[in-house]
Structure 1
Amino acid sequence: MGKDEFFNDLAESIKDGIQRNYRNLVFIQSKDSYLKMKSVLKLYLSIKDNVSIVYGFHPWIKEAKDRMRELREELEDYRFEDVDYSNAEWYMGNTYDVVIMDMTDNFQPNNVGRMVELCRGGGLIIIYTDNLKENKLFKNSIMRDGKVLSFYEDRFLRKLSEHEGIFIINGDVFQSRTFTGQVESPPERKVESKNAPSEIHELCKTVDQDKALEGLYFIMSSGKRSISITAPRGRGKSAVVGLFLASLSSEDRKKPLKVYVTSPSIAGASQIFEFMVKGLENLGVEYSVKKNSNVISSVNTESMKVSYIPPDAAYSEEGDILVVDEAAALGIAYIDMISRTWTKTIMVTTVHGYEGSSKAFSKYLRKLADNRKIKLKNISMDYPLRYAKGDPVEKWLYDALLLDAEPELPEGDLSILSYEEIPKEELFTDDSKLRQAYGIMVTAHYRNNPDDLMIMADGVHHIIRVLSSSSYYVSVAQLSEEGGMDDDKVELAINGGIFDGDLIPDRVIKHVRIKEFGKLHGWRVVRIATAQEIQDKGLGSEMLRMIIEEAEDNGLDWVGSSFMGDPKVLRFWIKNGFIPVHVSPKRNEKLGDFPVVVVKPISEKAKKIVSIAATVLKEKLLNTLHDVYFNMNPEIARLLINGTGAHKEIDINPIYLDKVLAFVKGTSPYESSADGIHMLVLKYFWDSKRKWSIMPDEEEFLIAKVIQGKPWGNVSAVLSSSRSQVTEGIYTSVAEMLNRYYGLTIDSPLGVMISQHGDLNERMHLD
């Protein structure tokens, strides 16, 4: 195709897009891509008036900044905003006519996903780069020993050619595919029953938003309730929550309603606050706001106080409603904890989004609601706000980034399975296989993003294994080759340096201080997943067994994994013989969990190091759960402590034992005997040779109260138990431990005598 024909096609397609409210995209790969980008932009500006432009780039790279500044000067008569890719989420509520992505210095799928969604119907997206595969920041971070693959970029380029509404300039070669499909007009808006004021419904743009607004009033009825709002990006789900909060502000109350909003970042919650303010202004309700980093962090009216709090702060705050934006990104362990302490929660999450798939999350939420006797309402939203339904660029985006990967339901005899490696060339050139394999990962795990797929595709040290039944994959694992570090890298790790790759050796070296582990070779299981419909049948464990066998055959020293602390996931690894060796001292700010590292040692040297690491971890937890890990879920703490298998003999002097006995006999309150109880509990958890155990819930009571030092009310809330259940559980478990270890019972006499117990000074190590 000639250049003139290309630009004629593009011009006609832009005009058609403006008329039918869909978007077009131009991809430019050329040494003079910047100049070609300006030619494309000039064409659009000649067709449409009053154009708004957003420009994505990396501001710390001088050449990128120079290009942006030059373009800004040339477009001084237009609304022009520049966006640092790392801050793109701060702009997710904005809409522009033209979105320009400078990918000269970096190509990163997450950036593409976020920036494309800023473009409105009738708009144009321009991606320009010199070469998609060479000298890119994110790609270089995937490199191992100077090697990196390009399977992801090859597929990305292929998808550009396959879809309509996409125009490609590759050097001097021009290719256009105008959109010939149909788009859907929005259905007529009719609101049957109005709980919300008409002034609020005026701000809704779709029928879905109207219905969601009315549906949110479900939360205001009595009892423990939760609402789950799921939708693809750009459907206005966060906005409608903000409008709902504004509508509640119009109601008179004796006592102001207290609402907290949390999300992985304050930027992620910005839409809720912005639309609450819009709603209040439409209602004529007086309000005041506070801002953090130029983003609204709280809105107060006479009848309501709405504030943003970080995810971990939601554990201890008290209020009437908790709104969790991008709930799937925060994970099921987090949702489990807040569902214990909050009576009313609104969960907002993205279907096929960049923060994770909501399918696994929604399934979990239904199960949680049943177990906790929570009344749950699901609200889904489908019609896009910014552009017409059927938009060709959205279709391309979902295909290119595999945002809508859904595996087929496995069929046939699951007792006959094949364990095999999938060559990446085969996987990334066969969409049916890729969608099946990656779809299992996405739908089984709630935390995935487009960057993950590129790492899997392009990392030479990332390998893929599957369990298959006939023509279907049933389980998939992504493995990363780690270890074999040179001396310089080991020294960098021990001295606190940061580098890409070798995650497990790095954590062991930094926190256990044993440098030899860096020399060992192992596999880190990045992801392991089984198709949702056939989970809990032992297929994941079978997959793991085969991975370990292969690792042994290959002479590896260990197999391990790193993941966000979640009870179900942690139980899976411990059940399969993996030992916890590290827990991050810092909770992941965005995801709300403590990252955990587990290892299954194979070689003798690995077994020795892992044994030491497990002992160090157990000591660290028991010594710092009251401080560093105060907000750790007691169930996670219990699994980690018991999972280490580390043993140590603990002696308790007679005075402290007598204090415990006095507590058991009821002559001393808990607070007066707490020091003795603490020592007895430490003895119990350090004793990995005992053939008996107290109940798991009793262990969690002891961890929360005795080891973490939580107030009684907090223990009850966190563990969803009444005060009487907690006190009874602690009493029963302490009495059992005292009897089993020392033969002391409620009938044993109180008091310590020197003649009975020997030299107390010596036994207490006193001078």
Structure 2
Amino acid sequence: MTFQQALSALSHTGERRLWLVSGDPEWCLAQLMMLPSEEAIAFSHRSLACQTLRPTQVTHQLGQEYRYVIFDGHSGVHPDMLAASAGLVKAGGLLILLLPAQEQIATFDDPDYCRYVPEVHQQGECHRFFLQRMLRLLRSATGCWRLDQSEGWDGLDLPQGSPWQPSADDLGCLTSSQRQAVESIVHCARGHRHRPLIVTADRGRGKSAALGIAAGHLLRQAHAGARMRILMTAPSQAALATVIRHAEAITQGKWQQDHLALPHAELRFLSPERLINESPEAELLLIDEAAAIPGHQLLALSECYSRLIFATTRHGYEGSGQGFALRIQRRLEQRYAQLTICQLQEPIRWSVADRLEPLIHRLFLLNVDVASPPATPWSEVHHRWVTSAELVENEPLLRQIYGLLVLAHYQTSVSDLRAMLDTPHLQLLLQTIGETVVGVLWLNQEGPLSAALATQVWHGERRVRGQLLPQSLLSHAGIDEAGQYCYGRIMRIAIHPQCQRQGLGTRLLTALQQQATNWDFLGVSFAVSASLLRFWLHAGFRPVRLGLSADAASGEVSAMLLSSGHAERRADLLVWQQRFLEDLPTFASRQLRQLDCNCLAQLLAQGAPTEPSATDHRRLVAVATTHHALDHALPSIQRWLQAHAALLLQLDTQAQQLLIRRVWQGWEWSALQQAGLITGQKAGQTQIRQILAHILTLVQANL
């Protein structure tokens, strides 16, 4: 059997394969001469005979299809890009991976290592476990064609499946599950309000096409008196190319910039931000690649529109479909009495006998699932450290750990798998019940920085990869001595969903703190929320910084907290916290005017109790008990309340919000009224006077 015969058989059966070409860079390129360049695209830093793009441009091509997709690993094995490149391979095609020979992998200086270390000269410290594991799996995988410079051909098989001839039905659907999805979307658009639909599928199942087909039929069937306005959104308009193409085909219409207009019907794209801010009227909202859209935006959209379709990739590199199911889907189930879920099973872009997709899933753990924990008492929980060297030899353990991390964070990417295996100075603390991992803590060392580098960071002349804690403390918090310390940064902490709210997260942190002798500080940075802040403060971490702008993914500002087991460092930490708390009122009235009130109350309460001045006390009493001018007394009120900030946490939600929004965040009376906190300025002043009087009674009760 020849290579050309195997290629011909692939086209006949609609299967796809991975072809591993390993050897010297130039030899690998020479093997590609047998392929027609007009049917190929390559991702490489070298110039190839076919269309060639940089490896980081793979995702720009999503939605396109090629018979031959070449990924040049000699230019760097970027895991996210390599995983995504498989989605570009059409039925009957090849994903061609160029790599050094097996005996060279252990010493291969992969250009991708630059993303995992602060300085170029530290790339040699990276482990080679990720590529060793990948090559081991590829060499043992069935359906993977291998050509090695020294060993020749191996694994070249002849696909034996039936002819692959997909055909569309009367709706334009290629599979029964795609038709079911289209019918469900149409029913959602025409049925009762507040009954959203979730459409999930692995890549290649026709999920986006189903959205376009359904939209096309709804638009075409619209008539006078039954207007059909369909809005759609996604992480970008480019991600909706498939939806638009199928809608155009059904309606015979033409997409114009951001909309398709027909008599009595319209299909229009708007970004999630514009939809939330403008809330244009529509009969239906389609949300594609929902797992890649921040959760707070999805929930906001569910409040704006009464008929919604959430479509998401279940396992993939666009976002964590499992994270979507655990977070957003659960919230939607709580909000709606009736929520429909539709799953597309059969692939439509390639044969069910395809060998590439399951191989990519295995290589990058895209379909990893988490086993249920045993019914064992929590007293039998154990903690232990695990190394990258152990993980690369223990695939079941690696799958358990990575699965928990995927569930814990919706932005987990394939690159995180490589970081777990290859990053130097990374440690994983496991929490187990029997053989089941129920908790994972990912810890990475940051600092110390050299004096010269710390000075450059302080002056704003350098940004150093992988050094978030010392860099942010230097450049943002203004702590000029921060570069000299060693930090253990908690990158992720994950508890099994069935074991949460049982105190296991606290026990995992306690186990870490008891063993944290190699670091001056333990630290964490996270998108701030009242519950998370409460957890970390309860664990003994102290706030030292808040970001001043919202993160694009979470929609929240970040909080940075530290703890230390060293007496001298704890004294330093108290000084740093005090600096932060002194600056907080200024930021609260400017960049942090939208910060959650309970978060601000928790932070203010971290200050050491102080005795307010007699003047401030008299003015607050006057405001609370007389008609003394409220607005003119705000500085005194703020200073007095900051001295008794713990009392803010004893107020009910409405009182806490009104006081913080007005006193610290400087909201105008009109904004407070629009937020539903007051009915008008006069009523608002009366409410604040009553709240202050209540606080005075709390102070008296504590004396």
Please confirm whether the aligned pair reaches a TM-score higher than 0.5, indicating the same fold.
Answer: yes
**Match for 1:355 among 318, 321, 325?**
318
1:134-189 CA deviation, whole Å, 9 max, x = no partner? Answer: 33332133247451111111101111112122122333222422458887999998
Give the letter for the 1:172 counterpart. Answer: S
TM alignment of 1:358-507, pairs within 5 A: 358-373=321-336, 375-411=338-374, 412-496=376-460, 497-507=462-472
Residues 39 and 638 (structure 1 numbering): CA distance in 2 closer, same or farther, change over 3 Å? Answer: same
Aligned to 2:701: none
Equivalent residue for 2:57, pick from 66, 71, 87:
87
Match of 1:208 in 2: 177
Tell me the amino acid that sits aligned with residue 734 of structure 1.
I
Correspondent of 2:256 among 289, 312, 317: 289
Say if 2:63 and 2:239, in contact at 8 Å, map to a contact too.
yes
Q: Distance in 2 between matches of 1:427 and 1:491?
A: 38
- 1:549 paired with 2:527, answer no
**Distance change (3 Å), C-alpha of 1:498 and 1:324:** farther
C-alpha distance in 1 between matches for 2:617 and 2:225: 57
- May I ask how many residue pairs the two structures share in their alignment? 682
| Superposition deviation, residue 613 in structure 1 | 4.2
How many percent of aligned residue pairs carry the same amino acid? 20
- Residue 515 of structure 1, CA deviation: 2.2
**More off after superposition, 648-657 vs 368-377:** 648-657
Structure 2 residue 481 is matched with structure 1 residue 516: yes
Per mean C-alpha deviation after superposition, the further-off stretch among 112-121 and 573-582 is 573-582
- 1:641 paired with 2:603, answer yes
Amino acid at match of 2:211: V
Q: Secondary structure at the match of 1:368?
A: helix
Compute the displacement of 1:40 (Å).
3.8
Instruction: Assess, with a 3 A threshold, how the Cα gap between structure 1 residues 161 and 593 changes in structure 2: closer, same or farther.
Output: farther
> Could you tell me whether the CA contact under 8 Å between 2:285 and 2:307 is conserved in 1?
yes
Counterpart residue identity of residue 463, structure 1: Q
> Deviations for 1:315-336, whole angstroms, at most 9, x for unmatched residues?
4231345544433334444444
Structure 1 residue 114, shift from structure 2 partner: 0.8
Corresponding position: 1:694 with 2:672: no
Structure 2 residue 40 is matched with structure 1 residue 53: yes
Q: Tell me, in whole angstroms, the C-alpha distance in 2 between the residues paired with 1:636 and 1:311.
A: 26
User: Quick one: which of 137, 141, 144 aligns to 2:115?
Assistant: 141
- Residue 294 (structure 1) aligns with: none
Name 1:4's counterpart in structure 2.
Answer: none
**Distance of 1:113 and 1:129 partners within structure 2:** 15
CA distance in 1, matches of 2:642, 2:226: 46
CA distance in 1, matches of 2:126, 2:255: 53
Instruction: Give the AA of the match of 1:280.
Output: E
Deviates more, 1:386-395 or 1:605-614: 605-614
Residues 41-190 of structure 1 mapped to structure 2, 5 A cutoff? 41-42=33-34, 44-45=35-36, 52-58=39-45, 64=46, 67-68=47-48, 71-72=49-50, 81-130=51-100, 134-143=108-117, 145=122, 146-178=124-156
Deviates more, 1:14-23 or 1:605-614: 605-614
Change in CA separation of 1:570 and 1:187 when aligned onto 2, cut-off 3 Å: farther
Distance 1:604 1:676, change over 3 A: same
Query: 1:536-615 to 2 correspondence within 5 Å?
Result: 536-551=501-516, 554-615=517-578
Q: Distance in 1 between matches of 2:584 and 2:526?
A: 18
Amino acid at match of 1:87: Q
Please name the residue that 1:755 is paired with. Answer: none
Contact 2:625 2:693 in 1 (8 A): no
Distance in 1 (CA, whole Å) between partners of 2:474 and 2:582 is 17
2:691 to 728, 734, 737: 737
Whether the 8 Å CA contact 2:59–2:84 is kept in 1: the answer is yes
Q: Per-residue deviation at 1:707?
A: 5.5
Q: Deviations over 1:727-767 (max 9, x none)?
A: 999678624432035679xxxxxxxxxxxxxxxxxxxxxxx
- Residue type matched to 1:434 in 2? L
**Contact 1:517 1:609 (8 Å CA) reproduced:** no
Deviations 1:349-405, CA, capped at 9 Å, x for gaps: 221211332223213334323443464222222222321124111111001111112
Correspondence 1:605-754 to 2 at 5 A: 605-618=568-581, 622-625=585-588, 627-629=590-592, 632=595, 634=596, 637-638=599-600, 641-642=603-604, 644-645=606-607, 680=637, 684=641, 687-690=644-647, 693-700=650-657, 703=660, 734-741=688-695
Q: What do the CA deviations read for 1:193-214 (whole angstroms, capped 9, x no partner)?
A: xxxxx6xx32x33333222222
CA distance in 1, matches of 2:634, 2:273: 29
User: Is 1:229–1:380's contact at 8 Å kept on the other side of the alignment?
Assistant: yes
The DSSP-based 3-state class of the residue aligned with 2:453 is helix
Q: Structure 2 CA distance, aligned partners of 1:653 and 1:433?
A: 60
Q: Match of 1:526, SS?
A: strand
The TM-score with structure 2 as length reference comes to: 0.85
Runs of 5+ in structure 1 lacking a partner?
Answer: 1-7, 59-63, 73-80, 192-197, 291-296, 665-671, 745-767
Deviation for aligned residue 1:227:
2.8
Deviates most, 478-487 or 618-627: 618-627
Could you tell me how far 1:547 is from its partner in structure 2? 0.6
Q: Deviations over 1:91-144 (max 9, x none)?
A: 111111110112222111001011111001100111224465633332133247
Report the Cα distance in structure 2 between the residues aligned to 1:441 and 1:399, rounded to whole angstroms. Answer: 17
Shift of 1:534: 1.7
Q: Would you say 1:36 and 2:1 are equivalent positions?
A: no
C-alpha distance in 2, partners of 1:407/1:227? Answer: 25
Give unmatched runs, 5+ long, in structure 2: 699-703
Which range moves more in the overlay, 81-90 or 494-503?
81-90
1:2-44 per-residue CA deviation (whole Å, 9 max, x = no partner) reads xxxxxx453333222111111122222322x3443443451x4
- Aligned equivalent of 2:18: 25
2: distance between equivalents of 1:407 and 1:371?
A: 23
Q: Distance in 2 between matches of 1:363 and 1:535?
A: 12
Deviations 1:223-277 (A, max 9, x none): 434332222222232333344344443324769766654444x2xx424255335
Q: CA distance change for structure 1 residues 252 and 661 in 2, over 3 Å: closer, same or farther?
A: farther
Range that drifts further, 239-248 or 651-660: 651-660
**Following TM superposition, by how much is the alpha carbon of 1:471 offset from its aligned partner in structure 2, in angstroms?**
1.6
- After alignment, is 96-105 or 407-416 more displaced? 407-416
Equivalent-residue separation in structure 2 for 1:712 and 1:248 (angstroms):
46
Worse-superposed segment, 233-242 or 12-21: 233-242
Q: Which residue identity does 2:691 align to in structure 1?
A: M
Contact 2:383–2:429 (Cα < 8 Å) also in 1: yes
The Cα of 1:548 is off from its aligned counterpart by: 0.9
Q: Counterparts of 1:315 and 1:682 in 2: how far apart (Å)?
A: 37
